[in-house]
Chain A
Amino acid sequence: MAKFNLKINGKNHEVDVDPSTPMLWVLRDHLKLIGTKYGCGIAQCGSCTIHLNGLAVRSCMLMVSAIGNQEVTTIEGLSENGDHPVQKAWLKVDVPQCGYCQAGQIMTAAALLEQNPNPSDSEIEMAMNGNICRCGTYTRIKKAVQLAATDTNS
């Protein structure tokens, strides 16, 4: 076990865990930030996507010991009131079905638009391909990303 000081969603948190613990479980088990989901544990489905210094990463294979001083953002911290342009677009398009993968989808989309405010369809597909939606809401996800891009740029 070891102590780690983590900066998550703008706040400092101290956890005492095995250094090999993935951030996913630090968030879910130790900090009760359950918005980040477990889907596969091998970085194949994207349900656990968080931001590390603004970049989308899969938290299920990211050891807590690798975080250091980097800023972590989870779905709970993406916006104060659920009004990030991507979140707003998600509601407008009414994307979710079961909803389980959607936090990960939103985190990937938000990071994409941060890096590339005007993504083409194929750029959206490339960025979002790491996130599986078993319900098959992909056409709506794409529409919501496009809408969020428009809203961000207008």
Chain B
Amino acid sequence: MTFVKTKIGRRSFIKTTSLASGGMLLSFNWLASCKMTREEVSALPNEWFKLNGYLKIGDNGLVTIMSPNPEGGQGVKTSMPMIVADELDVDWKDVIVEQADLDTDAFTRQFIGGSQAIRRGWESLRMAGASARQMLKEAAAQTWQVPTQEITTEAGVLHHKSGDQSMRYGEMASKAAKIPVPEEVELKDSKDFNIIGTSRKNVDGPKIITGKPLFGSDTNREGMLIAMIVHPPAFGLKLKSIDDSAVKGMPGIKDVFTLKVFNDNYEKTFFDTRTFNDVAVIVGNSTWEVMNAKKALKIECEPIESITETRDRFGNKWEQHTPSGLENTDSHYTQMEAMANRPATIQRKDGNPVAAFQKAAKIIERTYTAPFLAHNCMEPMNFFAHVKDGKAELIGPLQKPEFTEQTLSARTGIPLENIEIKMTRLGGGYGRRSYAHWAIEAALISQRVKAPIKLIYTREDDMTDGVYRPSYHAKFRAGLDANNNLIAFHVKAGGIPESPLAANRFPAGAVDNYLAEDWTIDSNLTIGSFRAPRSNFMASAEQSFLDEVAEAIGKDPIDFRLELLERAKENPIGENNDYEADRLVGVLKLVQEKSNWGTSEANVHRGVSAYFCHNSYAAQVLDLVIENNKPVVQKVTCALDCGVVVNPDGAKNMAEGGIVDGIGNAFYGELTIKDGVPEKNNFDTYRMIRMSESPKEIDVHFVENDIDPTGLGEPTFPPIFAALANALYQATGKRYYRQPFLVEKQVVG
């Protein structure tokens, strides 16, 4: 049993306790589409009693648990409430899950990002359940006139140890709501978990498969108008003027105007990313009418000037330089190659790398590159806004609602308390919905046209007005002595416009002489987080390189990594190694076992890769065959260490998704730029992985331990690129240095 102070989230508890102190029925203003998870309306209670910001208990024993974070497919709307329910000690079938609105008083970190929801929410979710359980126990103790310690709970029922008294939570809920929030609560031992660690189905499953409204773009409102934007066709251009003469009289069109998204003197915060700050807006009655008007609108653009802006990164200022000019993919690669041969910024140095490379008997040097990527969420960017009488109601898919709210308030002048943000399910996020300029645009449009509006980006807008994964470059060098020992390691990485380097990751710590350097190239393309930012490239490059080094040394690639990790474990170099060698060893050994590594099957080519990022460890073995001159991924075996697994089948689904997404991007993902124009604008040219190209089988295994859980949305994505590259090498004899690996018409084999 663990006792913890209920300090974190205390604000929430104090606030909600005082609300609930009268034991009254609290009225909730939930998004209609999120109302009920269960169908049997007759089974709903007459009264709900709110015990804290996370949960309310009905007089019939039903429990509503709020899922604080936005849900975009990572499964938190199921797994976060599972954690609350386990500590509360209720039967999962008695739980209704509702999506919380943005409420910075009641909840902490209502984010999607960094695979941190479960890790960072773990303690407060457990406390929410445990403190409510404690309040129920105290209410029972008062009722039965017995000490609280003599009360036990079991699946929503309170018992007295004598066996004489028992009562359902529902019957005690009104009393419990009047009990002060405990200063200290008792948390379960992990061995007593009975919901955590069991597979529970996606709580929104029944709505998804029947087409019920769940997504931002499903929002409808009486009198709602449809809005779309028109942005400059190329990065490096800005809107100068619009000619709406052909549009104004078109059927259903209500208004055409230009909009400045951020004010010129506004200091942008971290997620306020937008290159096209001035856009044209068309508002009309229906989507099709506005789409047609969009085609008819003429805009005139002019070149941007170079600017340097001061931006705010969570309290720290940084200077962002945006150069003028129309950029090209070809020159990007030339520029990156040039930077890789110039002095760069040293981020970490162990031993004497220069001397070690000088005395090395053999040096292996390889360069890896990756293109810009578009997120391509299946639900294009959209948002509903209704600004009226100094108040703003916003509904839609967001990854960082708290920051969006702050920006919105700064831009519209509407105070935070008059802004209501309702979070819908995200039709994919992967980082893109952190940069919510479209929510600001929606609010400004509604403010101007004085009506509820739904802003919709077309697929073409979504892809060509993106916040892309940067283009990256990394040069690796390994120095071997005459006995094939790895004596020096050098990584020099950079990107447009950010560096992907994580200087303290493996193999830092495992090599005596180690050097990590980086560089950047400014760009006017908008970039931002994309599933496992930076790691999504570095894992690919580093794990492909290690495969090649192992081969040069003549060692099995898993054994080679294990030997390096043994060194990092027993006698680590440096002090800032940000991974636990033991846990990386753990996943490598597990994948070795589960994939039957070392056995061979005719015509099956295998690649291995392992990476630590976002606090979790992943190792993968990919089996590939060549059929009709095409690579076919037969199977991926994946070992994961993310601590306690809250919802195993949901976690597997997430892992499978990361693997498929990674293989898709490794094979096909690429956004090229010509004279500032993204050369792909829809799925006819931007190739996405499809079913026939996915692995035929994915086999996921978890390392079992009691470590507090860490995230899973990202960690399976980065390493698979290299597992694929290494298997492709086995199949073709060719190393894959430049992503994407398969370009149009290229035949492998």
Contacts and interface: CB of A to CB of B under 8 A. Distances in A.
Interface of A: 1, 17-18, 20-22, 25, 28-30, 32-42, 44-45, 47, 74-76, 78, 82, 87, 90-91, 94, 96-103, 106, 121-122, 124-126, 128-142
Interface stretch (B23-31, B264-272, B443-451, B688-696): B688-696
Contacts of A42: 459, 682-684
A134 B375 CA distance: 9
Contacts of A30: 286
A99 to B, nearest CB: 4
Contacts of B682: 40-42, 44
Contacts of B213: 34
A100 B694 contact: no
A94 B683 contact: no
A133 B378 contact: yes
Interface in B177-225: 201-202, 204-206, 208-215, 217-218, 220
Contact of B378 (A34, A37, A106): A37
Contacts of A29: 226, 286-288
B647 to A, nearest CB: 10
Nearest to A82: B210
Contact of A94 (B205, B376, B429): B205
Nearest to A60: B459
Contacts of B378: 37, 39, 45, 47, 98, 100-101, 132-135
B283 to A, nearest CB: 14
Given A134-B428, A137-B653, A103 B208 contact: yes
A13 B697 CA distance: 44
Given A94-B649, A140-B653, A99 B425 contact: yes
Interface string B644-673: 000001100110111111001000000000
Contact of A97 (B74, B376, B459): B74
Contacts of B251: 1, 18
B209 A37 contact: no
Contacts of B664: 136
Contacts of A1: 251
Interface string B212-251: 1111011010000010000000000000000000000001
A131 B658 CA distance: 18
B698 A139 contact: yes
Nearest to B697: A139
Nearest to A36: B211
Contacts of B75: 97
A135 B661 contact: yes
Please classify the interface of chain A as helix (H, G, I), strand (E, B), loop, or mixed, using the class held by over half of its residues. Answer: loop
Given A39-B459, A98-B73, A90 B683 contact: no
A138 to B, nearest CB: 4
B458 interface: yes
The 6 closest A-B pairs by CB, nearest first: A35-B211, A136-B660, A100-B427, A98-B73, A97-B73, A75-B211
A87 B206 CA distance: 9
Given A138-B660, A139-B695, 19 more contacts: A21-B286, A38-B456, A40-B682, A41-B459, A42-B684, A45-B378, A82-B206, A94-B201, A96-B202, A96-B208, A97-B75, A98-B377, A98-B378, A99-B204, A99-B208, A100-B379, A132-B378, A137-B653, A138-B690
A152 to B, nearest CB: 16
Contacts of A100: 215, 377-379, 427-428
B660 A139 contact: yes
B199 to A, nearest CB: 8
Contacts of A141: 691
B501 interface: no
Given A134-B688, A138-B691, A103 B211 contact: yes
Interface of B: 72-75, 201-202, 204-206, 208-215, 217-218, 220, 226, 251, 286-289, 291, 376-380, 425-430, 456, 458-459, 649-650, 653-654, 656-661, 664, 682-684, 688-692, 694-698
B73 A99 contact: yes
A134 B378 CA distance: 6
Contacts of A94: 201-202, 205, 649-650, 653
B459 A34 contact: no
A90 B205 contact: yes
Nearest to B33: A34
Contacts of A96: 73, 202, 204-205, 208-209
A125 to B, nearest CB: 4
B428 A98 contact: yes
User: Which of B72, B213, B286, B425 has most chain A Cβ within 10 Å?
Assistant: B286
A142 B694 CA distance: 10
User: Which of B288, B459, B650, B654 has most chain A Cβ within 10 Å?
Assistant: B288
Contacts of A38: 217, 287, 380, 456
Contacts of B209: 75, 82, 87, 90-91, 96, 102-103, 106
A53 to B, nearest CB: 20
A141 B694 CA distance: 11
A103 to B, nearest CB: 5
Nearest to B252: A18
Contacts of B220: 32, 34
Nearest to A129: B690
Contacts of B72: 98
19 contacts: A21-B288, A25-B287, A37-B215, A39-B379, A40-B683, A44-B682, A44-B683, A75-B210, A97-B73, A99-B425, A100-B427, A102-B208, A124-B691, A128-B691, A134-B376, A134-B661, A134-B688, A138-B694, A139-B697
B656 A139 contact: yes
A90 B313 CA distance: 42
A137 B210 contact: no
A7 to B, nearest CB: 18
